[in-house]
Amino acid sequence: MADAGAIIGRAFARGGVDVWGVCDFDPALLTVRTRAIARIPTGARSIVAAAFPYYVGAFAHRTLSRYAMLPDYHNVVSALLAEVCAALRSAFPTERFEPFVDISPLDEVEVGVRAGLGVRGYHTQLINPRYGSYLFLGEIVTTLRLPPSTPGPEGIACLGCKACVRACPGGALDGQGRLDVSRCLSHLTQKKRLSAEEEDAVRRGRLVWGCDVCADVCPYNRQAAYSPVSAFYRNILAVLTNNNLESAGRAWNWRGPEVLQRNLRLCGEHGDQMKCQ
Ligand code: SF4
Ligand code: SF4
């Protein structure tokens, strides 16, 4: 019988991914209702969860959220998960392997905790001891029974310092580990129509797309290791202008240029550089 763990480890390692684990499939993990839920295999037994670290440098003068500076993570993560699935299907042809990224119907942070990738922080994100919370998450749900990992890495816990809660410019974190999406700047910069109050919030923000404040103040992120995923270093775009906002292969492309043009206007573009704070 093929060693599934070795196959998974080798396939992830080829893409530079060194943080992955397994947890049992549990219907209670299906918390997000998306059409993708139809892809959960009947008879699912295990979930392979992986973290794709995305810290690629300080970029103090960026006007895009850290994740948005990179080539679209949907493409990068999907391609890596597809490679792992292909390797597993080849070894276990009678089993099903379904990859999920971003529109996952799973509670991805809880899956990550159960699979031993990290712990949940008060900023609601998964914290890994090596890479902090600068992580994209991806999962493979499978009918193959895999041995589960030990939940939550030892020696790490959210410090409870609440620096993330205090620093949040939108007051979106309640201090109990919950996020009010409607107050989150990251959400507002992606919203098509904004109220006058929401426009003010975007105007006061530092970024044209997204918000990294709660992540950047977290002590675990101060010394986050650089991403080992080489694909994230190709074609980094840190400053958005009216001249490059239609760059292909970016995480914001789905929203179309109008929302970005509005955000640039709100933040006040001057020449090629943003004036946001
Ligand atoms: S992304 Fe920004 S606005 Fe949203 S919770 Fe974090 S600090 Fe608050
Ligand atoms: S800033 Fe402090 S409270 Fe917030 S997630 Fe990080 S360690 Fe936890």
User: Which of 2-6, 62-66, 149-153, 270-274 shows the lowest per-residue confidence on average (mean pLDDT)?
Assistant: 270-274
CA end-to-end span of the chain, whole Å?
A: 59
What is the secondary structure of 33-63 as a DSSP string?
--GGGGGSPTT--EEEEEEEE------TT-S
- H helices, E strands: number in the chain: 9, 8
Pick the atom of ligand 2 nearest to 159's CA.
7
Q: What is the pLDDT of residue 22?
A: 98
Q: Is the pLDDT of residue 54 over 90?
A: yes
Q: Is the pLDDT of residue 273 over 50?
A: no
Domain ranges of the chain: 4-58+69-142, 163-274
Interval between CA 141 and ligand 2 midpoint (Å): 30
Q: Is the pLDDT of residue 8 over 60?
A: yes
Q: Which amino acid is at 25?
A: F
Interval between CA 93 and ligand 2 midpoint (Å): 43
Q: How long a stretch of residues is the chain?
A: 277
Q: Do residues 55 and 69 lie in contact, with contact meaning Cβ atoms separated by under 8 Å?
A: no
Q: Which residues contact 86 (CB under 8 A, 6 or more apart)?
A: none
**Two tokens, residue 201:** 């919030």
> pTM for the whole thing?
0.93
Which one of 109, 122, 213 would you pick to mutate in the ligand 2 pocket, going by the greatest count of ligand atoms within 8 A of its CB?
Answer: 122
Which residues are near ligand 1 (CB < 6 Å)? Answer: 123, 168-170, 172-173, 179, 184-186, 211, 213-214
Ligand that comes closest to the CA of residue 129: 2
Active site residue 26: no
What value does the CA radius of gyration of the chain take, rounded to a whole number of Å? 19
Q: Is the pLDDT of residue 222 over 50?
A: yes
User: Which of 82-86, 94-98, 237-241 shows the lowest per-residue confidence on average (mean pLDDT)?
Assistant: 237-241
Mean pLDDT of 244-267: 90
Q: What is the DSSP letter of 190?
A: T
Mean pLDDT of 95-104: 94
- Pairwise pLDDT comparison (79 vs 245), residue with the higher score: 79
Q: Which amino acid is at 19?
A: V
Catalytic residue among 24, 72, 102, 107: 102
Residue 72, φ and ψ in degrees, nearest 5: -50, 115
Q: Is the pLDDT of residue 275 over 70?
A: no
**Two tokens, residue 255:** 């929203």
Pick the atom of ligand 2 nearest to 214's CA.
1
Distance of alpha carbon 268 from alpha carbon 277, whole angstroms: 10
Q: What is the pLDDT of residue 269?
A: 52
Which residues are near ligand 2 (CB < 6 Å)? Answer: 121-123, 158-164, 217-220
Tell me the per-residue pLDDT of 142-187, one tens digit each, with 9 for 90 and over.
Answer: 999 999 999 877 777 888 899 999 999 999 999 999 999 999 999 9
Tell me the three-class secondary structure of 121-173, residue by residue: CCCCCEEECCCECCEEEEEEEECCCCCCCCCCCCCCCCCCCCHHHHHCCCCCE
Q: Do residues 49 and 22 lie in contact, with contact meaning Cβ atoms separated by under 8 Å?
A: yes
Ligand that comes closest to the CA of residue 217: 2
Q: Is the pLDDT of residue 127 over 50?
A: yes
Distance of alpha carbon 87 from alpha carbon 93, whole angstroms: 10
Q: In what order do the strands lie in the sheet with 97-101?
A: 19-24, 46-53, 135-142, 97-101
